[in-house]
Structure 1
Amino acid sequence: MTVVRKGGCLCGKVTFSVAGEPTRVGLCHCTDCRQESGSAFTYFGIWPAHAFLSEGTTAEHGGRRFCPSCGSRLFVCDEHEAEVKLGSLRDAPSGIVPTYELWIKRREPWLVALPDAEQFDEDRP
């Protein structure tokens, strides 16, 4: 049976689902991710585009989709893949564990590296 995870924005006007397991999961500490999330990093999962479905009207800035009503940052999607902000999934904890960290040269010194996760100074090769 295929796992289907559901998520959405804070106000409920935008919802989405992803089917199956993500192809990869990471944390990103880059300046862009820090600024758009308002946090020290972004926690995201990547699914094939065909496994992703969204409903509701979103707005876009720099390819990133968000709810125009409540401002929740949700996903990036193109014809190949969907990158989902995993904090926007309904069920927490999700059990989805990051396998890599990006831009660790920007990681806050009080954050420790995730055990068993690949570490990249910048983007993945």
Structure 2
Amino acid sequence: MNVQRDDELTTAIHEGGCACGAFRFRATGKPMRVGMCHCMTCRQVHGSAFGAYAIYARGDVTMSGSLSTWRSSDDGRRHFCPLCGSVAYMEFTTRDEVDLPIGAFDETGLFEPDYELWCRHREPWLPQGVRPEYDKERPH
């Protein structure tokens, strides 16, 4: 695994984007936190057992390209590429942050999740007790 040291992450620039390349992002520095989400929406949006995100302050991320937006909850917005359908990022209108899918980064092994959300929907074959777990949303 290619996990970087904290001092490298503080100044690092990490880029990524959608599968077809029409949408790109650039995240500067270290994410505020990194988490896995087992909620039913993340499972369905990603077509996987969970979604994993690096959460950055909004000011630390620049983006280019056109996106479509889906209002997934009262304050949740999920943005995706209208060409290939890839999940581009997620945001909540009540928070000044951007949730970037770990799988959308150009490099692998950058981030390891710090916690898991909505574990009440976690697949039973996934390991438990690896990191802090929350039955629903984590306290903010």
TM-score class normalised by the smaller sequence: over 0.9
Secondary structure of the equivalent of 1:110? coil
**CA deviation vs aligned residue, 1:6-40 (integer Å, no higher than 9, x gap):** 00011111000100111111000011111111100
Runs of at least 4 residues of structure 1 off by over 6 A? none
Which residue number corresponds to residue 97 of structure 1? 112
Percent identity, aligned pairs only?
A: 37
SS across alignment from 2:103: helix
Select between 103-112 and 79-88 the one with higher mean Cα deviation. 79-88
Residue 16 of structure 2 corresponds to: 7
5+ residue gaps, structure 1: none
Matched, 1:108 2:123: yes
After TM superposition, the score normalised by the length of structure 2 is 0.83
How far does the alpha carbon of each residue in 1:77-115 deviate from its partner, in whole angstroms, 9 at most, with x for none?
457111101100001122x01110001111000001262
Query: In structure 2, what is the Cα distance between the partners aligned to 1:46 and 1:103?
Result: 17
Alignment of 1:1-125 (within 5 A): 2-62=11-71, 63-77=77-91, 80-94=96-110, 96-113=111-128, 115=130, 117-125=131-139
Q: Structure 2: which 5+ runs fail to align?
A: 1-7, 72-76
When normalised by structure 1's length, the TM-score is: 0.93
What is the Cα-based RMSD across aligned positions, in Å? 1.4
How many residue pairs were aligned? 123
